[in-house]
Amino acid sequence: MAQEIERKFLVQHETWRTLAEGRYYCQGYIPTQGKQTVRVRIIGEQGYLTLKGPTAGLSRLEFEYDIPLVDAQTMLRELCQTPLIEKYRYRIPLDDVVWEVDDFLGENQGLILAEVELTHAEQRVVVPSWIGEEVTGDPRYYNSNLVKHPFKDWS
């Protein structure tokens, strides 16, 4: 069983951009009836299917599987809600964790979020100077909700 434990933050300035190169991500969400999410993602030439359970505190169950690129492309086109989530992701190792900074494109352009995955919910991390407000518990910042309520529509 896989457990995802993460914290999410707004990014407050651009100094992080010199720390890593970004990779383009395109992802979408297949509608579900509960609090679970089914995500289809393409990174480069590889497709992924991810199943996530409901969030409880900082954690939730997460299962991710490689799938053929053509299957991921078809699922994104035919099964996922729109708009799709497009972003560049930057992986920045600092101390004993890796910060993932997402610079969103399209309907969510202007939003920049940083996530850090933890090994346990009480793990302490050194927060870099370019990190701003923590938004871990705010559902507006979940990628699956950015499909339904894109950042460009926020007041």
Return the structure tokens found at 62.
């997460």
- Which H or E element spans position 31? none
Q: Is the pLDDT of residue 1 over 80?
A: no
Residue 25 annotated to the active site: no
138's CB contacts (< 8 A; 6+ apart) are none
> What topology does CATH give the domain 3-153?
Hypothetical Protein Pfu-838710-001 (2.40.320)
Contact in structure between 54 and 127 (CB atoms under 8 Å): no
Q: pLDDT tens digit string along 101-136?
A: 999 999 999 999 999 999 998 999 999 999 999 999
Q: Is the pLDDT of residue 72 over 90?
A: yes
Catalytic residue among 29, 48, 90, 142: 29
Contact in structure between 81 and 147 (CB atoms under 8 Å): yes
Q: Is the pLDDT of residue 52 over 90?
A: yes
Q: How confident is the model at residue 89 (pLDDT cuts 50, 70, 90)?
A: very high
Return the structure tokens found at 153.
């529509």
Q: pLDDT tens digit string along 13-30?
A: 899 999 999 999 999 999
Domains in the chain: boundaries: 3-153
- The pLDDT value given to residue 58: 83
Return the structure tokens found at 27.
């992802």
Contact in structure between 5 and 116 (CB atoms under 8 Å): no
Q: What is the mean pLDDT of the chain?
A: 95
Mean pLDDT confidence for 49-61: 90
